[in-house]
């Protein structure tokens, strides 16, 4: 149901977006805007009220974050509820549904699945070894220093990433990369409505973490190298901002990689506006040899990584390389959140890292996933496909005749699960006509090839030409 809602802002004081937001709250909670109503498009409402589209978009975005509204890419903004519930309002993407059978259920190409190249045997062995060393210190809290041996091992693990000077004192250990993002934002964001800047198409975990901090998320335009420095500068001038979330090595979902000059420009804009940088490097891949943003801006960059993609998602082990001098701040934030990682986890990971087993498993997994990547490129490479050597997902811009939502729905009907670009677009953002295809290393090569053949057949036969 559409509505011609046009509030009277004549007697409202303060910023126009807040005045519009107050009117929105009053009319939703007063029943004048019913649940399910579609609000006027941003530009139409802006024209009728004599205000800028950005003002309307900001009010709609905050209303969505509060749960009063919901935004559906391609359809519009709707009234969600007069009494929004507390907490997160949408599920965080997980690698695979817990009840999917890898050999008989749908082929899940939504998030990368690692093959077993020795992880289960290695984990079993180090668990047994660690169990033999349990002592009375397991009865005590982890504390700020008890994980120092693990942090020293992580410093060596990260040595290939060109992070600049790094010691164990700069590190925070976390329950995976998403937890690391939460910790960074809790350290950096201040005020009632802080602003987080993110890539216009971005890992959904950024917006989930920002919502937990009551933050507004502002999209920044992308090009072939990822986030555009001029767009970041313009967004800072218009909206302010405290943190920018960015993935320079492997932009998720477009696979873009920033060159050195672009990284230096991003660092310069961050300095000019006193932004903290959250650098997401969870999609571990063969090193590009380029310096990370933390090496270029060590005073303001928080580098987030994990073992989920290279070793095991089930370990839930992540790490944050904090800006110079901020390691203690990060560890205090972690302690206030969860008192530090459980001793069994740090003991297991330390053994994997120090023994060299983790490095061996990373290489073996990369070899296996690179072979899967070759199969995907061979099957779909005639289309507009973006990929990087060693990266575990591909970005497919769909040919004429297809919409991303239709393509993912029809692929699912034939037993192949994908992610549409809509899932990565920020609130009121524009989603291109594309899908992300993750590599499935945990199923047989035969099943993987059949899934690729299904996608190739669908791409060659847009809906109007598909056989009945």
User: What mean pLDDT is predicted for residues 212-239?
Assistant: 95
Among the listed residues 95, 108, 91, 94, the one whose alpha carbon sits nearest the alpha carbon of residue 437: 108
User: What mean pLDDT is predicted for residues 22-51?
Assistant: 88
User: What mean pLDDT is predicted for residues 443-451?
Assistant: 96
pTM of the model: 0.82
Q: Nearest 5 degrees, angle CA 397-CA 400-CA 403? A: 65
Highest mean pLDDT: which of 56-70, 86-100, 205-219, 423-437? 205-219
200 pLDDT band, cuts 50/70/90, is very high
Query: What's the pLDDT tens digit per position in 89-98?
Result: 555 555 444 4
CA separation (Å) from 441 to 134, 361, 376, 379, 446? Answer: 35, 14, 12, 16, 11
Q: Give kind and range of the element (H or E) at residue 245.
A: strand 243-246
Ranking 21-35, 110-124, 258-272, 399-413 by mean pLDDT, the lowest is 21-35
Query: What's the pLDDT tens digit per position in 134-150?
Result: 988 888 888 777 899 99
Percent of the chain with pLDDT over 70: 92
Going 399 to 405 to 411 to 417, the CA torsion angle's sign is positive
87 pLDDT band, cuts 50/70/90, is low
Query: What's the pLDDT tens digit per position in 42-64?
Result: 889 989 998 888 788 888 878 88
Give 89 or 457, the one with higher predicted confidence: 457
Lookup: tokens for 335: 């302690």
Query: Does residue 159 register a pLDDT over 50?
Result: yes
**Residue-level pLDDT at 68:** 84
Q: Report whether 217 contacts 206 (CB < 8 A).
A: yes
User: What mean pLDDT is predicted for residues 151-161?
Assistant: 95
Query: What's the pLDDT tens digit per position in 347-387?
Result: 999 999 999 999 999 999 999 999 999 999 999 999 999 99
Confirm or reject CATH 3.30.2010.10 for domain 133-355, answering yes or no: no
As a whole number of angstroms, the distance between CA 390 and CA 376 comes to: 12
Ranking 36-50, 58-72, 345-359, 442-456 by mean pLDDT, the lowest is 58-72
Lookup: tokens for 28: 């939703």
Percent of the chain with pLDDT over 90: 66
**Residue-level pLDDT at 235:** 95
Q: Which residues pair with 160 in a beta bridge?
A: none
SS (H, E, C) 396-430: EECCCCCCHHHHHHHHHHCCEECEEHHHHECCCCC
Instruction: Provide the CATH topology of domain 107-118+359-465.
Output: 3.90.1150
Lookup: tokens for 456: 């190739």
Query: Does residue 431 register a pLDDT over 50?
Result: yes
Pick the CATH number of 16-79 from 3.10.50.40, 1.10.357.10, 3.40.50.1220, 1.10.10.10: 1.10.10.10
Give me Rg for the CA atoms of the chain.
Answer: 23
**Residue-level pLDDT at 127:** 96
Domain ranges of the chain: 16-79, 107-118+359-465, 133-355
Ranking 84-93, 145-154, 166-175 by mean pLDDT, the lowest is 84-93
* Average pLDDT of every residue of the chain: 90
Give exposure, 366-375, as e/b (b: 16+ Cβ within 10 Å).
bebbbebbee
Range 38-42, long-range pairs (CB < 8 A, 24+ positions): 38/1, 38/2, 38/3, 38/75, 38/76, 38/77, 38/78, 39/3, 39/5, 39/69, 39/76, 39/77, 39/78, 39/79, 40/3, 40/4, 40/5, 40/6, 41/76, 42/77, 42/428
**Residue-level pLDDT at 16:** 82
């Amino acid at each position: 149901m559409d509505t011609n809602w046009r509030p009277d802002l004549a007697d409202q004081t303060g910023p126009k977006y807040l005045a519009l937001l107050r009117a929105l709250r009053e009319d939703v909670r007063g029943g004048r805007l019913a649940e399910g109503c579609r609000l006027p498009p941003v530009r139409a409402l802006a024209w009728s009220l004599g205000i800028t589209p950005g003002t309307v978009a900001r009010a709609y975005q905050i209303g969505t974050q509060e749960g009063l509204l919901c935004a559906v890419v391609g359809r519009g903004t709707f009234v969600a509820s007069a009494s929004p519930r507390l907490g997160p309002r949408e599920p965080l993407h997980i690698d695979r549904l817990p009840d999917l059978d890898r050999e008989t259920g749908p082929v899940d190409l939504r998030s990368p699945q690692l093959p077993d190249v020795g992880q289960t045997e290695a984990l079993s062995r180090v668990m047994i070894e660690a169990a033999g060393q349990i002592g009375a210190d397991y009865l005590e809290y982890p504390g700020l220093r008890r994980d120092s041996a693990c942090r020293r091992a992580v410093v060596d693990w990260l040595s290939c990433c060109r992070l600049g000077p790094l010691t164990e004192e700069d590190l925070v250990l976390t329950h995976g990369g998403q937890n690391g993002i939460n910790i960074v934002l809790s350290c950096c964001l201040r005020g009632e409505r802080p602003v987080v800047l993110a890539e216009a198409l971005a890992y959904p975990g950024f917006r989930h973490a920002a919502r937990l901090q009551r933050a507004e998320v502002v999209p920044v335009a992308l090009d072939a190298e990822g986030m555009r420095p001029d767009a970041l500068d313009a967004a800072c001038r218009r909206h302010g901002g405290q943190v920018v979330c960015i993935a320079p090595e492997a932009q998720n979902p477009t696979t873009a990689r920033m060159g050195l000059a672009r990284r230096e420009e991003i660092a310069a804009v961050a300095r000019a506006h006193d932004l903290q940088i959250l650098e997401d490097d969870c999609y571990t891949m063969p090193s590009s040899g380029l310096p990370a943003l933390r090496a270029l801006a060590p005073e303001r960059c928080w580098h987030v990584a994990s073992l989920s993609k290279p070793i095991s998602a089930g370990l839930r082990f992540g790490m944050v390389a904090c800006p110079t001098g901020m390691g203690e701040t990060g560890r205090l934030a972690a302690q206030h959140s969860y008192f530090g990682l459980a001793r069994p986890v740090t003991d297991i990971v330390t053994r994997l890292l120090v023994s060299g087993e983790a490095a061996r498993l990373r290489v073996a997994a990369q070899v296996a996933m690179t072979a899967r990547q070759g199969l995907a490129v061979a099957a779909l490479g005639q289309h507009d496909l973006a990929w990087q050597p060693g990266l575990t997902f591909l970005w497919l811009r769909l040919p004429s005749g297809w919409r991303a939502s239709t393509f993912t729905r029809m692929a699912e009907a034939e037993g192949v699960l994908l992610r549409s670009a809509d899932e990565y677009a920020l609130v009121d953002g524009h989603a291109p006509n594309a899908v992300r295809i993750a590599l499935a290393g945990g199923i047989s090569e035969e099943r993987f090839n059949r899934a690729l053949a299904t996608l190739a057949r669908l791409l060659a036969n847009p809906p109007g030409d598909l056989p009945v």
